[in-house]
Amino acid sequence: MRRRVIAGNWKMFKTQAETRAFFKAFAPLVSASKHCDIVTAPPFTAIPAAVEAAKNTNIVISAQDVYWEKEGAFTGEISTSMLVEAGCRYVIIGHSERRQFFGDTEETVTKKAKAALAAGLTPIVCVGEHLSHRESGQTHKVCKTQFDGGPGLLTPDEFSRILIAYEPVWAIGTGRTATPEIAAEAHKFLRQCAAEKFSSAHAAALRILYGGSVKPDNIKGLMAQEELDGALVGGASLDPKSFASIVNFTS
Ligand code: PGA
């Protein structure tokens, strides 16, 4: 059985002081939660505060992006070793907002994932279709293009160390969640892509998180689908009580 992961993506929210306040409230609410891995992805500047606050807890810290070069004249970028030194264990790669506003492509997703893996970070690689794709019946085509051109280009060993997040763009921040059945169908398709590119063992072991308006009141229904191995949560991960009740969906 694949171990579940509940990850919070804070996007461009929270200062260091707000981060410390969040963990003070959140950590006790999930300290007894053993059924899943708990990940929080603050913005870069709040990572050290988050790592410090999450020490001796069951919460690990992720970054929201990374650059693939080791170092150099790349103004504004952050390297994998900087994230590792800061205490990150995961990194989100190819989030739809990075693809839409900051030029991430399949090619940069692959480069970032390879660099992250080489540094010992666990990439959470995001894929997902826009509303126009879904309405024109192109969901599989888009997911396959993003899969084949991104995680599909990793080596089998590299692939066995990543997580994928299926995030339909029309469900992100819109309050419009994919139904558990729609999400499960897309996850099944991505697992099939993994079986075709790698092996059925790789596909069976791959953890695929669902993201897009996950809230305390829909997490249970989503997690009832065995294709869904966890969630990547945006807005609802900013409030300690709301994120804790998502983590504690089993209770
Ligand atoms: P949301 O964001 O939960 O606010 O829809 C999810 C994400 O973008 O990862």
Name residues whose C-beta falls within 8 Å of residue 39's C-beta, 6 or more positions apart in sequence.
Answer: 5, 6, 7, 8, 59, 60, 61, 62, 89, 90, 124
Rounded Cα distance between 111 and 18, Å, is 32
Predicted local confidence at residue 234, as pLDDT? 97
The mean pLDDT of 188-212, rounded to a whole number, is: 98
- Rounded to 5 degrees, what are φ and ψ at 164? -115, 140
- Tell me if 7 sits within 8 A of 41, measured CB to CB: yes
Say what the pTM is. Answer: 0.97
Model confidence pLDDT, tens digit, residues 52-86? 999 999 999 999 999 999 999 999 999 999 999 99
In the residue annotation, 140 being an active-site residue is answered as: no
Pocket of ligand 1 contains residue 19 by CB under 6 Å: no
**What number of H helices and E strands is found in the chain?**
12, 8
Give the helix ranges, DSSP H, for 60-179.
80-86, 96-101, 106-118, 131-135, 139-149, 156-159
State how far the Cα of 249 lies from the Cα of 42, in Å rounded to an integer.
22
Selected catalytic residue, list 95, 106, 129, 133? 95
Q: Mean pLDDT in the chain?
A: 97
Q: Do residues 221 and 183 make contact, with C-beta atoms less than 8 angstroms apart?
A: no
Domains of the chain, first to last: 4-247 (3.20.20.70)
- Span 20-36, pLDDT tens digits: 999 999 999 999 999 99
Q: What is the pLDDT of residue 1?
A: 80
The sign of the CA dihedral 123, 95, 213, 193 is negative
pLDDT digits (tens, 9 = 90+) for 141-154: 999 999 999 999 99
User: 99: CA distance to ligand 1 center in Å?
Assistant: 14
Joined together, the tokens standing for residue 4 give: 């579940």
Q: How many angstroms is it from 95 CA to the middle of ligand 1?
A: 10
- Residue 220, pLDDT > 90, answer yes
- Band (pLDDT 50/70/90 cuts) for residue 16 is very high
